[in-house]
Homo-oligomer: A and B are copies of this chain.
């Protein structure tokens, strides 16, 4: 029995609120249950130095957490003087995940930075962030398309979404909340495209090592969950902004 009472293959209530920022070219407030992440896509007409004059653009991500997004207040990274290892790891993952479905040449020499800021955390912030960041990126490209800068479907080759799965009380379960995550024996994050390709898989044994069979069970859950998320993304972007 999961603390949340959910079935093992049941994700939390997922929602996407688009266009939540007065300023950003694309934005999305994504909720996976009580995990709320604000994703904003910012366009700049310049690329990092190492890409200049190469005819290619860049998509990158930054990740942050408000100090009291969590149960105990965490020290603000700006006062600590640096981003922690976990933050850097997550924002590198989000960036790679987005770039996996972007044609950087079609983007042209521009950079889009997707900021994923966790307003409230209850487990699965990185998977919610990736899933919401895709919406923000999509809407940024639509904004550019309206100005004849790019063709969205040429830049954005596919959907990308993510979910965490884990072994909790010896059962493979999907979309762990904080309580489940803290007690899980194994924790795995899956990032997949709309066409079912795997972009990233990160599995970690928290207590005991896990087996290939368990990994495949988790992947089965993830495939279905991500398919659901992609369907939701499609519905959302089909609607009015």
Is B203 a contact of A201 with CB atoms below 8 Å?
A: yes
Contacts of A78 in B (CB 8 A): 64, 76-78, 80, 82-83, 87
A212's partner among B88, B195, B198 (CB-CB below 8 A) is B198
Q: How far is the CA of A200 from the CA of B89 in the complex (A)?
A: 15
- Stoichiometry, as copies per complex, reads 6
Q: Which of A22, A92, A115, A209 has the most CB of B within 10 A?
A: A209
Given contacts A69-B23, A198-B209, contact A64 B89 (CB under 8 A): no
Distance (Å) between the CB of A106 and the closest chain B CB?
16
Residue A193 at the chain B interface, CB threshold 8 Å: yes
Scan residues 78-96 of chain A and give those whose CB is less than 8 A from a CB of chain B.
Answer: 78-89, 91-92, 96
Residue A24 at the chain B interface, CB threshold 8 Å: yes
Given contacts A42-B73, A78-B78, contact A23 B68 (CB under 8 A): yes
Distance (Å) between the CB of A224 and the closest chain B CB?
13
Is A81 a contact of B82 with CB atoms below 8 Å?
A: yes
Residue A71 at the chain B interface, CB threshold 8 Å: yes
Is A89 a contact of B87 with CB atoms below 8 Å?
A: no
A197's partner among B34, B77, B211 (CB-CB below 8 A) is B211
Residue A199 at the chain B interface, CB threshold 8 Å: yes
Q: How far is the CA of A107 from the CA of B82 in the complex (A)?
A: 32
Is B198 a contact of A115 with CB atoms below 8 Å?
A: no
Is A76 a contact of B92 with CB atoms below 8 Å?
A: no
Q: How far is the CA of A91 from the CA of B205 in the complex (A)?
A: 16
Is B115 a contact of A67 with CB atoms below 8 Å?
A: yes
Distance (Å) between the CB of A119 and the closest chain B CB?
7
Contacts of A198 in B (CB 8 A): 203, 205, 209-212, 215
Is B38 a contact of A22 with CB atoms below 8 Å?
A: no
Q: How far is the CA of A106 from the CA of B200 in the complex (A)?
A: 36
Distance (Å) between the CB of A93 and the closest chain B CB?
9
Given contacts A78-B77, A215-B198, contact A117 B209 (CB under 8 A): no
Query: Closest 5 interchain pairs by CB?
Result: A197-B209, A85-B88, A77-B78, A42-B73, A40-B68
